């Protein structure tokens, strides 16, 4: 019998602890090891048994979640899924938590937490499941009912004709999920200021992508921003899909731009990598380079095959450097990948194929 994923819930809200307990208990693959109102109680519980995954609130009495995360990752690394409110301060701290080694973020509003978390049950269980597969590295502190799984057809129809022939204008489409915040940092930091225009889907909750983009913008030679409707895709700039909006690449004459759409979840995600990749296949064709990086599930696998079919060069991150080798593995299995490369080699390959 397969061993269940044992989860320790740390949150000062009794309501949140109960709702998360109910959600986790309803999943046959996992169980609640315990629930604690603050990190001190959790630490006592962990003396008796180490959980497979921890869900951790950011704002708690006696010790905040970020401080506890740093202590865990510097002493005994355990996969952690952060629970954060949708405030600006919360989103900044959650991005910092990802840098310290947290695997995923679960968004948590200050009001109406019970209903919101119940509606997000599938995403919560997916985040915990993904976290359980991660082998976290030691970090130095100084540094319910499942909805139908839709395809990109729900947002953009597949083109029945080939995109335009190659031009000198290139565009790079990138998709990633679990572990992608660090992978994107490594990839984007390696690019020169005059790199081709880049459009990115990183699975991340609403209100967090803006803080994430700003943080990357301060680290990279290219500019990085959260995409806005009709933003132009230009050399030296990366546009990141805002949480809860699909991002599509479009073209008008010689100009590439992005369109934001609401639409249904695709591969259980919004934004969806499949939606971005299909739009790149349709409107950029052989002028595009597609990159799929670390992440759980198969979002992007179908779209990457469509990009390759349209003449694009396609690249997948390898298993050794992926936090979760789900999305790249599925893309490779579908036959949509030209090259499988370690994370450190992707930027050079992108530049070479855009010259």
Residues with catalytic function: 177, 203, 299
Say whether 264 sits in a helix, a strand or coil: coil
For 139, other C-beta atoms within 10 Å of its C-beta total 17
Task: Name, in order, each residue with C-beta under 8 angstroms of 351's C-beta and a sequence gap of 6 or more.
Answer: 191, 192, 195
Output the CA torsion sign for 298, 299, 300, 305: positive
If 0-12 CB within 10 Å is exposed, 13-18 middle and 19+ buried, where does residue 47 land?
exposed
Distance between CA 224 and CA 89 in Å, rounded?
20
Backbone phi, then psi, for 178, in 5-degree steps? -55, 125
Do 50 and 78 form a contact (C-beta atoms < 8 A)?
A: yes
Angle at CA of residue 159, ends 155 and 165, nearest 5°: 130
Task: Name, in order, each residue with C-beta under 8 angstroms of 124's C-beta and a sequence gap of 6 or more.
Answer: 20, 23, 24, 106, 117
Q: How would you classify residue 185: left for phi > 0, otherwise alpha for psi between -120 and 50, otherwise beta?
A: alpha
For 166, other C-beta atoms within 10 Å of its C-beta total 12
Q: How would you classify residue 335: left for phi > 0, otherwise alpha for psi between -120 and 50, otherwise beta?
A: left
103 alpha carbon, distance to own chain's centre = 10
* Tokens describing residue 18: 């109960």
């Amino acid at each position: 019998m397969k061993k269940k994923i044992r989860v320790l819930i740390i949150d000062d809200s009794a309501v949140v602890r109960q709702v998360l307990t109910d959600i986790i208990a309803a999943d046959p693959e996992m169980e609640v090891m315990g629930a604690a109102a603050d990190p001190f109680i959790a630490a006592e519980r962990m003396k008796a048994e180490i959980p497979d995954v921890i869900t951790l609130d950011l704002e708690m009495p006696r010790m905040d979640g970020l401080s506890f995360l740093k202590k865990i990752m510097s002493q005994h690394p355990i996969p952690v899924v952060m629970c954060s409110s949708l405030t600006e301060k919360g989103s900044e701290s959650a991005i910092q938590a990802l840098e310290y080694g947290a695997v995923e973020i679960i968004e948590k509003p200050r009001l109406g937490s019970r209903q919101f978390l119940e509606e997000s049950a599938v995403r919560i269980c997916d985040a915990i499941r993904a976290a359980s597969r991660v082998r976290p590295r030691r970090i130095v502190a100084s540094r319910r009912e499942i909805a139908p799984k839709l395809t990109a057809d729900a947002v953009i129809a597949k083109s029945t004709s080939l995109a335009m022939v190659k031009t000198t204008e290139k565009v790079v489409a990138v998709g990633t999920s679990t572990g992608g915040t660090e992978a994107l940092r490594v990839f984007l930091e390696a690019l020169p200021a005059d790199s081709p225009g880049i459009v990115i889907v990183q699975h991340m909750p609403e209100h967090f992508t803006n803080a994430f983009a700003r943080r990357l913008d301060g680290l990279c030679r290219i500019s990085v921003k959260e995409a806005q409707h009709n933003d132009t895709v230009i050399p030296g700039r990366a546009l990141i899909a805002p949480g809860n909006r699909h991002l599509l690449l479009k073209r008008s004459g010689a100009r590439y731009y992005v369109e934001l759409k609401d639409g249904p979840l695709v591969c259980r995600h919004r934004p969806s990598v499949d939606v971005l990749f299909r739009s790149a296949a349709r409107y950029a064709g052989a002028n595009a380079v597609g990159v799929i990086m670390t992440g759980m599930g198969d979002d992007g696998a179908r779209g990457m095959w469509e990009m390759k079919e349209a003449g694009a060069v396609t690249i997948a991150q390898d298993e050794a450097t992926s936090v979760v080798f789900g999305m790249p593995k599925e893309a490779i299995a579908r036959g949509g990948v030209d090259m499988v490369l370690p994370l450190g080699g992707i930027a050079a390959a992108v530049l070479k194929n855009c010259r």
